[in-house]
């Protein structure tokens, strides 16, 4: 029993044409239908796996791709698409790709304001940590408090966070601050297999494991005071962020459609450069069924984060009976969505895939909630247990540069195995406690695998995203308490 | 050569590789490597058995189906498995898995496996005749 470590390789930048400080082009060549564009600083791009080059190039060969295949500053080696990949497809000629969305459909981040200041929370952090850990099921095999029968399952898959609010989880005000207003339309629960539904049966309102977390954070810096004010953020404020996705249901849908699409590609006349690029024409049965199932999984993720929000509010009310926790915003970073985009002055309806990329719609966009319409949507970027997270704002330029998309997080720099060789879970917890960060997790090994040092520097990713014009940096958040699945 | 398993590096996730004298042994070892992503296989007591059947058009799809079937049983039964007996005829795999209910305190499961992918997927024979079955799993 052993372990083989692949020697870290880095990107050969001589293959790239640097258009500006943070923008690198790969000219369309071979089977590429459009160019590929990577947004990153020189340091980030030199550190990227050469697989990103290969994958962003492969995506550019897919039928019906429009304008360019994009990679965000946090891009790394994914499945078919790079993680941090964005690609838009024409509704008639184009494809939808299960690999282009990924296994954890609609994985995302939501942030709640608390109205509390760091000095209110400092003395009771331990109590708050215990209460959150007690209320929110986390870790492998944890089950929720809710069991859905077949009718309720379909209602949840059709109506997402709207369904959760109807069930008493949170309030109608929350829905305004969720992408798609909490409900992805045209979801088709009938396209979701019984296996996928069974895998979800006991998992509603659970955080999951791996890089998923629930954090109490303090705002430690404000970079744009006007936008921060519109978001209700001030230095010293306490917020709560939740990172999780569509749980077992999304994973099962991803698994099933990846196989169906890979096997059907030949029949659809698609020559896949990589089986992981599994895709199907939008206008095919499997394509339509995937879209219906994937939208149901988006609703599952939105409902899940809504239920967890309710549990977080319950936990806070035990410690701070008067605290209200309004929702700042909820973003999903693994999706395919139908959106209107302008290219060369003309408006097009496109199927935009974001695989490890966050929507970043700018000021004035009709899908941005009224409260944020003048400043752009909040773009929520998660860090690691010991490092900062960031809140950015969508920009008008991002609509032009990346179909309104930005980065999504830090990305690993070290494998899980290497992390467990380097750190022990108990030591990571003690070290972070020494820096004022309380960690609660059911698994020491899980904590070691997620050690802050195993991730890239999220600050560099955020800076590059800002410089490339994909989003504007608004605030930095640092953890006080982290519940790790 | 003793049948054995390995993990190999993938930037965000982890590769599982089984090596054995036959295709069946390689698949059994790949399944052990999958368990080892979640917990130490030696901590999992083979108390209960579950039977699995999967079919696929070729060896590689069969490996992905096999691992995904185990992932499904882990998720829906909340079990972990440490003993695998695999039989393959043409491209139909029948297997008996043995394990027990996951115990957070005793198994300290590190991470859920979301699915087996097609990244670095291969099933084949080395020049010495031994079989190797491998792919990356998403965690």
Between chains, do A415 and B14 touch, taking CB under 8 Å as contact? yes
Distance between CA atoms of residues A349 and A339, nearest Å: 6
pLDDT digits (tens, 9 = 90+) for A90-139: 999 999 999 999 989 999 999 999 999 999 999 999 999 999 999 998 88
Q: Quick one: tokens of B55?
A: 């079919």
Residues 279-338 of A with CB under 8 A from B: none
Whether the per-residue pLDDT at A432 is higher than 50: the answer is yes
Q: What is the mean pLDDT of chain B?
A: 95
- Closest alpha carbon within chain B to A245: B114
User: B57–A263: do the CB atoms touch at under 8 Å?
Assistant: yes
Q: What domains lie within chain A, and their CATH numbers?
A: 16-413+455-484 (3.90.1860.10)
Nearest residue of A to residue B76 by CA position?
A: A199
- CB-based burial, A389-407: b 16+ in 10 Å, e otherwise: bbbbbbbebbbebbbbbbb
> In chain B, which residues have their Cβ closer than 8 Å to the Cβ of A255?
68, 71, 115-116
Give me the interface pTM, i.e. the ipTM: 0.91
pTM of the model: 0.95
pLDDT value of position A8: 55
pLDDT digits (tens, 9 = 90+) for A7-47: 457 888 888 999 999 999 999 999 999 999 999 999 999 98
Please name the residues in contact with B130: beta carbons below 8 A apart, sequence gap of 6 or more: B1, B19, B20, B21, B26
Query: Cβ–Cβ of A140/B112 closer than 8 Å?
Result: yes
* Residues in a beta bridge with A309: none
Instruction: Please give the distance of CA A197 from its chain centroid, rounded to a whole number.
Output: 22
Rounded CA-CA distance A334/A356 in Å is 6
Top residue of A142, A197, A204, A210 to mutate, by most chain B CBs within 10 Å, is A210
Cα A185–chain centre separation? 19
Say if the Cβ atoms of A76 and B110 lie within 8 Å.
no
**Confidence class for position A79, pLDDT limits 50, 70, 90:** confident
Angle between helices B59-77 and A247-264 (to 10 degrees): 160
Containing A136, the helix (H) or strand (E) segment is none
Sheet containing A17-20, strands listed edge to edge, beginning at the edge strand earlier in sequence = A17-20, A23-26, A36-39, A65-76, A83-89, A346-355, A334-343
Q: Which of A79, A201, A259 shows the shortest C-beta gap to B119?
A: A79
**Between A465 and B91, whose confidence is greater?**
A465
Residue B100 near chain A (CB below 8 Å): no
Q: Helix crossing, B59-77 with B23-38: angle to 10°? A: 40
At residue A1, the pLDDT reads 40
Mean pLDDT of A448-453: 91
Percent of chain A with pLDDT strictly greater than 90 = 84
Q: Which residues of A touch B117 (CB under 8 A)?
A: 79, 103, 258, 276
A358-359 and A279-281 strand pairing: unpaired
Assigned token pair, A107: 């994985």
- Residue A161 near residue A337, CB atoms below 8 Å: no
pLDDT in tens, chain B (139 residues): 899 999 998 777 899 999 999 999 999 999 999 999 999 999 999 999 999 999 999 999 999 999 999 999 999 999 999 999 999 998 999 999 999 999 988 998 988 899 999 999 999 999 999 999 999 998 8
Look at A417 and B14 and tell me if their CB atoms are within 8 Å: yes
Rounded Cα distance between B36 and B7, Å, is 9
Residue ranges covered by each domain of chain B = 4-138
Residues of B in contact with A275 (CB under 8 A): 118, 121
Least confident of A5-19, A325-339, A461-475: A5-19
Q: Are B35 and B14 in contact (CB under 8 A)?
A: no
Mean pLDDT of chain A: 94
Average pLDDT over residues A151-160: 97
Torsion, CA B120, CA B124, CA B127, CA B130, rounded to 10? 110
Could you give the CA distance from residue A81 to residue A102 in angstroms, rounded to a whole number? 9
**pLDDT tens, position by position, B116-137:** 999 999 999 999 999 999 999 9
Of A195, A255, A444, the CB nearest to B115: A255
Give the pLDDT confidence of A340-376 residue by residue, as tens digits: 999 999 999 999 999 999 999 999 999 999 999 999 9
pLDDT of residue A4: 44
The order of strands in the sheet holding B92-101 is B48-55, B92-101, B79-89
Q: Where are the alpha helices (DSSP H) in A136-246?
A: 150-166, 172-175, 194-200, 225-231
CB-count exposure of residue B65 (10 Å: 0-12, 13-18, 19+): buried
Task: Give the count of Cβ contacts less than 8 A between chain A and B.
Answer: 140
Among A197-201, A241-245, A384-388, A465-469, the minimum mean pLDDT is found in A384-388
- Please state the three-class secondary structure of B21-79 as a single string: CCHHHHHHHHHHHHHHHHCCHHHCCCCEEEEEEEECCCHHHHHHHHHHHHHHHHHHHCE
**β-pair type (B131-138, B115-116):** antiparallel
For residue B12, what pLDDT is reported? 72
CATH topology of domain B4-138: Archease, Possible Chaperone; Chain: A; domain 1 (3.55.10)
What is the C-alpha to C-alpha distance for residues A238 and A249, in angstroms, rounded to an integer?
A: 32
Pick from A405, A304, A318, A6: nearest CA to A134: A318
Q: Does B63 touch chain A (CB under 8 A)?
A: no
**pLDDT band at residue A140, thresholds of 50, 70 and 90?**
confident
Q: Identify the sign of the CA torsion A258, A334, A52, B16.
A: negative
Contact B109 A2 (CB under 8 A): no
- The predicted pLDDT at position B36 comes to 96
Contact B9 A443 (CB under 8 A): no
Active-site residues of A: which are they? 408
Contact A238, A215 (CB under 8 A): no
Q: Which residues contact residue A186 at a Cβ distance below 8 angstroms, ignoring those fewer than 6 apart?
A: A291, A292, A295
Sign for the CA dihedral angle at A120, A125, A130, A135 comes to positive
The answer to whether A360 and A471 have CB atoms below 8 angstroms apart is yes
The answer to whether the Cβ–Cβ distance between A3 and B109 falls below 8 Å is no
pLDDT of B10 reads: 77
Which 132-161 residues of chain A touch chain B by CB within 8 A?
139-143
- How far is B87 from chain A, CA to nearest CA, in Å? 22
């Amino acid at each position: 029993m052993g372990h083989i470590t692949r020697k870290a390789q880095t990107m050969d930048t001589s293959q790239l044409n640097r258009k500006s400080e943070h923008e690198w082009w790969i000219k369309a060549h071979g089977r590429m239908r459009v160019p590929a564009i990577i947004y990153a600083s020189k340091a980030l791009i030199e550190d990227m796996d050469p697989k990103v080059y290969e994958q962003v190039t492969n995506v550019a060969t897919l039928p019906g791709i429009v304008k360019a295949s994009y990679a965000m500053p946090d891009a790394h080696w994914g499945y078919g698409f790079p993680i941090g990949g964005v690609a838009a497809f024409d509704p008639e000629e184009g494809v939808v790709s299960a690999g282009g969305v990924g296994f954890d459909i609609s994985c995302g981040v939501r942030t709640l304001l608390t109205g509390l200041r760091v000095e209110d929370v400092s003395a009771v952090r331990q109590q708050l940590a215990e209460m959150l850990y007690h209320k929110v099921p986390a870790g492998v095999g944890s089950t929720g408090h809710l069991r859905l029968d077949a009718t309720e399952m379909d209602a949840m898959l059709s109506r997402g966070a709207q369904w959760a609010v109807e069930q008493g989880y949170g309030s109608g005000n929350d829905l305004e601050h969720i992408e798609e207003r909490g409900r992805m339309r045209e979801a088709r629960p009938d396209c979701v297999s019984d296996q996928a539904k069974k895998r979800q049966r006991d998992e509603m309102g659970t955080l999951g494991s791996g890089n998923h977390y629930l954090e109490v954070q303090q705002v430690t810096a404000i970079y744009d005071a006007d936008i921060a004010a519109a978001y209700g953020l001030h230095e010293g404020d306490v917020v709560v962020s939740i990172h999780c996705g569509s749980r077992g249901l999304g994973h099962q849908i991803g698994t099933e459609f990846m196989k169906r699409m890979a096997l059907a590609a030949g029949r659809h006349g698609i020559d896949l450069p990589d089986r992981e690029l599994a895709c199907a024409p939008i206008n095919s049965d499997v394509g339509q069924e995937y879209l219906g199932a994937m939208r149901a999984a988006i609703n599952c993720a939105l409902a899940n984060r809504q239920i967890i929000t309710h549990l977080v509010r319950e936990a806070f009310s035990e410690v701070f009976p008067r605290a209200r926790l309004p929702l700042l915003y909820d973003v999903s970073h693994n999706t395919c969505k139908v959106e209107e985009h302008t290219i060369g002055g003309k408006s097009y309806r496109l199927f935009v895939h974001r695989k490890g990329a966050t929507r970043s719609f700018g000021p004035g966009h009709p899908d941005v909630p009224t409260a944020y319409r003048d400043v752009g949507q909040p773009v929520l970027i998660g860090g690691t247990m010991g490092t900062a997270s960031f809140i950015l704002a969508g920009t008008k330029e991002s609509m032009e540069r990346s179909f309104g998309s930005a980065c999504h997080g830090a990305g690993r720099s070290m494998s899980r195995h290497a992390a467990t060789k380097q750190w022990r879970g108990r030591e990571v917890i003690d070290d972070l406690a020494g820096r004022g960060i309380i960690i609660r997790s059911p698994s020491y090994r899980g904590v070691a695998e997620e050690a802050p040092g195993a991730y890239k520097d999220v600050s560099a990713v955020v800076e590059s995203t800002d410089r490339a014009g994909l989003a504007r940096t608004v605030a930095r958040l640092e953890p006080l308490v982290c519940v790790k699945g | 050569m003793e049948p054995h398993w390995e993990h190999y590096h993938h930037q965000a996730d982890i590769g599982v590789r089984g090596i054995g004298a036959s295709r069946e042994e390689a698949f059994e070892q790949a399944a052990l490597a999958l368990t080892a992503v979640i917990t130490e296989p030696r901590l999992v007591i083979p108390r209960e058995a579950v039977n699995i059947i999967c079919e696929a058009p070729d060896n590689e799809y069969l490996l992905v189906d096999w691992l995904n079937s185990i992932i499904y049983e882990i998720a829906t039964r909340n079990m972990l498995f440490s003993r695998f007996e695999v039989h393959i005829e043409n491209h139909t795999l029948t297997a008996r898995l043995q394990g027990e209910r996951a115990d957070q305190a005793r198994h300290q499961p590190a991470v859920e496996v979301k699915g087996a992918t097609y990244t670095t997927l291969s099933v084949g024979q080395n020049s010495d005749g031994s079989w190797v079955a491998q792919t990356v799993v998403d965690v």
